[in-house]
Structure 1
Amino acid sequence: MKSYQFSTLRLAITVFGNARKARSWMSRSQKLFCDKSALEVMETAEECERVREFLNRIDHGLIS
């Protein structure tokens, strides 16, 4: 696992409060990611940044 992937997973745990909830969200397909899961799209640093931006929007209440 690359460091940018690990930091994205850590952010998801922070946003969702625990690893189980984070894993559930990260494994679910999302329209934003063309019906792929966040885990499926996190192949490059740029894609991880896109996932982190989305997680930050959730954390700040911009997306429910």
Structure 2
Amino acid sequence: MPDQLIGEPEPDFDRLPRALMAHAVDTFGGPVKARAWLTTPNPVLNNLQPLEIAATSEGVARVEEVLTRIDYGIFS
């Protein structure tokens, strides 16, 4: 990523469930915007990155819920 600092590890998108990544890509219209959203701290997720939250099955469900809310125009 061009905005990444030297020595900063790449985000590990491979560990995300395929369905979650597909949902994010569908919600944001492409993989670049989906990855940006997944790596940006989100106030709805206590200012954690969705990628961080999705490390557990409960977190995956929470991120899916947030994506579904975005799909329906519910941003809070």
Q: TM (normalized to structure 2)?
A: 0.73
Q: Which residue matches 1:28? A: 40
The answer to which structure, 1 or 2, has the higher relative contact order (CA under 8 A, 6+ apart) is 1
Q: Which residue matches 1:40? A: 52
Q: Which residue matches 1:15? A: 27
Structure 1 residue 6: deviation in Å?
A: 2.2
Alignment gaps of 5+ in structure 2: 1-14
* Greater per-residue strand proportion: 1
Runs of 4+ in 1 over 2 A off after TM superposition: none
- The structure with the larger Rg is 2
Aligned length: 62
Percent sequence identity over aligned pairs: 32
Structure 2 residue identity aligned to 1:56: T
**In structure 2, C-alpha distance between the alignment counterparts of 1:35 and 1:63, rounded to whole Å:** 15
**In structure 1, C-alpha distance between the alignment counterparts of 2:74 and 2:47, rounded to whole Å:** 20
Q: Please give the root-mean-square deviation of Cα atoms over the aligned residues, in Å.
A: 1.5
Q: TM (normalized to structure 1)?
A: 0.85
